[in-house]
Amino acid sequence: MRLRRAIVLLPLVLAACDDAPATPADASVSDAPDAPAVDDLGADAPVTPPADVPPADVPPTIEPFDPSPRGAFPAGFLWGSATAPYQIEGGLDHTDWAQWERMPARILNGDRANDGPQSYTQFVADLDALVATHQNAYRFGVDWSRLFPTRAAWDRCFGARARPLADFMSACRAAADPDGVAYYHRVLDAMAARRLVPMVTLFHFVLPDYLNDLAQPFDTQGFVRDGIVDDFGAWARFAGAEYGRQVDWWITLNEPLVIAAGGYLQGVFPPGAPLNFDRVRRLVTNMIRAHASGYDALHEADTFTVSGNADAGVGGTGGRPALVSIATHNRVFRAERPGNAADEAGARAAAYVNNDLFMNAIVRGDLDADADGALTGPTDRTNDPALRARADYVGLNYYGLSLVRGLPTLPILRGLPQQTSLATPLPKSDLDWDLYPQGFLLVMRELRRFNLPVVITENGLADASGTNRPRYLAEHLAIVARAVAEGLDVRGYFHWSIIDNFEWAEGFCPRFGLYTVDYRSPLRPRVPTPGAATLRRIIDDNQVSDALLREVPAYHAPTLCHPRPDAGT
């Protein structure tokens, strides 16, 4: 099973909301007036397709690429790449995703993560690739199941959660797998030797199988289960105390709304329960509370300032022991048919839910638990002290544009956002996603409303030929430089990814690496793509020059992972 070729329900469409931006998500202002409320029909309401409305004569607006004015990147800028444990390490067999892979037809071509780049034994090659491209930072993940592979081991740690930190850590270290704990220390030691700043992710789509057992009723598992909030807080407390002497930058959750959409709307992630609207609401609320719990735990446990870590990229504000956030996947949303009321409303709702809902909770304390936008529900919260001010920066993942076909009567969902095969003149990636650097500036401008520094925690494209990555990097980093010139507080950029990896339901077809990996060789050699030299040049110059923008090759037709029948590819 794989992501749909045409219409994809993205990590975003939970409800239409009366505090969604009244202007489209691509508006050039950072704050916008509120939109009128749209009644939530509830999960049991009938689904009636809208009347057939002819497409508008005018296609969706696509601005020209305009990287000016721009200048140099700020002093202390974090230049890095990002990975996730399950996608690169291998051997993570005590996880929900390992269970998922063993189910038939879940992964494109039957690919298996254990056949990937095997960074558990090859991590030094990954770090050397970062050094070779003159990067100074690396975002990677610590896998929960590698440290606590069994329920018994985790229960021994979790059972000590109410004890003072020293007693808690004694119990947890006695329960944890010593090889797993030592592995991540080796990675961090090797990074320190190379002067690479770590950013560590605690949850990147994967849970231990004893916390999300796909053989059990999904209502009792994963982030749908209320007990996960305490579990996650204990996990963050352990990680912060164990690795805090080497780490200052933390991500609690990667793209939490992708979990909601992939697992409970599309059904292409575990547990594969499509169109479970009520579970989406519960899961998002639990993830918000889990993040807040993890944030507090990290700030309690990580009291060590690492020289060069928190100081890098924070404008000389002084070393802080822990800088904590989420990585949010923000997109530009536009009506598929400009001027169509349902499409316009759907685009506004998608932008609110995807780009603002989670951040509103962890920055302002405004928990929209029923996702209706009114903040008047029985479990909604406004300015909740247990949630607000639980982000030290915004971690932004950006991949492009979605067009929204409105569907007002669909429960919770008010439209069908599309990410692939869009009818636009933009170039495409191998996953048929639009390459839209213009939109990068738009989503960064929107983040002004949260009044926090921004770190680009992911940005990249699937490009097996390697021919499109140089232009992609030059254009997207030129836009980052323009955002800095406009006064946006952008403090770092992490490319996805340093190496090719296991791309979830899409298996190994999408090639996102600055370095390509030969999966046929037992040595798994990492070979630089042309994009590696492009990124090194930008880092060395500390700018994206006009000369570079002229020199990078034009985009070529992609090698689609899912060829379009009508395209003959």
* CB distance 88 to 515 below 8 Å: no
Query: pLDDT tens-digit profile of 199-223?
Result: 999 999 999 999 999 999 999 999 9
Q: Is the pLDDT of residue 51 over 70?
A: no
pLDDT reported for residue 502: 98
Q: What is the dihedral of CA 508, 514, 355, 55, to 10 degrees?
A: -70
Mean pLDDT across the chain, nearest whole number? Answer: 88
In the chain, % of residues over pLDDT 90: 79
Read off the pLDDT of each residue in 435-442 and give the average, rounded to a whole number. Answer: 98
Residue 454 tokens, joined: 């921004």
- Can you say whether the dihedral through the CA atoms of 116, 121, 126, 129 is positive or negative? negative
* CA distances from residue 346 to 149, 278, 352, 535 in whole angstroms, order as listed: 42, 19, 10, 37
pLDDT at 413: 60
Task: Please check the confidence at residue 33 and state whether its pLDDT lies above 60.
Answer: no
pLDDT given for residue 57 in this prediction: 61
Other CB atoms within a 10 A radius of the CB of residue 439 amount to 27
Q: What is the pLDDT of residue 316?
A: 39
Q: State how beta strands 137-141 and 78-82 pair.
A: parallel
With bands split at pLDDT 50, 70 and 90, how would you rate the model's confidence at 12? very low
Terminal C-alpha separation, the chain = 21
- Six token digits for residue 358: 């989670």
C-alpha Rg value of the chain to the nearest Å: 22
pLDDT at residue 44 tops 80? no
Does residue 114 surpass a pLDDT of 70? yes
Tell me which amino acid residue 160 is.
A
Q: Identify each DSSP E strand in 482-569 by its residue range.
A: 490-496, 515-517, 526-528
pLDDT of residue 166: 98
> In terms of pLDDT, which residue wins out, 471 or 265?
471
| Confidence (pLDDT) at 400 | 98
Q: State the Cα angle at 536 between 553 and 311, rounded to 5°.
A: 140
Would the pTM count as exceeding 0.75?
yes
Q: Where are the beta strands (DSSP E) in 116-274?
A: 137-141, 197-203, 249-254
pLDDT confidence tier of residue 364, bands split at 50, 70 and 90: very high
* Cβ neighbour number for residue 336 with a 10 Å cutoff: 25
- The dihedrals phi and psi of 200, each to the nearest 5 degrees, come to -110, 130
Q: 425 pLDDT exceeds 90?
A: yes
The sign of the dihedral angle between the CA atoms of 58, 60, 63, 65 is negative
**Domain coordinates in residue numbering, the chain:** 78-551
The reported pLDDT for the residue numbered 104 is 95
**Lowest mean pLDDT across 376-380, 387-391, 410-414:** 410-414
Q: Where are the alpha helices (DSSP H) in 457-567?
A: 469-485, 530-541, 546-551
Q: Which fold has domain 78-551?
A: TIM Barrel (3.20.20)
Q: Cα angle at 353 between 350 and 359, to 5 degrees?
A: 140
Helix, coil or strand: residue 194: coil
Write the pLDDT tens digit of every residue in 167-193. 999 999 999 999 999 999 999 999 999
- pLDDT at position 20 is 34
Q: Residue 398's beta-bridge partner residues?
A: 330
Residue from 498, 412, 488 nearest 450 by CA: 488
Residue 16 has pLDDT above 50, yes or no: no
pLDDT for res 567: 52
- Do residues 246 and 198 make contact, with C-beta atoms less than 8 angstroms apart? yes
More confident residue, 370 or 161: 161
pLDDT at 11 over 90: no
Amino acid at 380: D
Is 150:96 a contact under the CB 8 Å cutoff?
A: no
Identify the pLDDT of residue 9. Answer: 41
**Distance from chain centroid for Cα 149:** 25
Choice among 152-166, 328-342, 345-359, 407-421 with the minimum mean pLDDT: 407-421
pLDDT of residue 342: 95
pLDDT above 60 (res 118) = yes
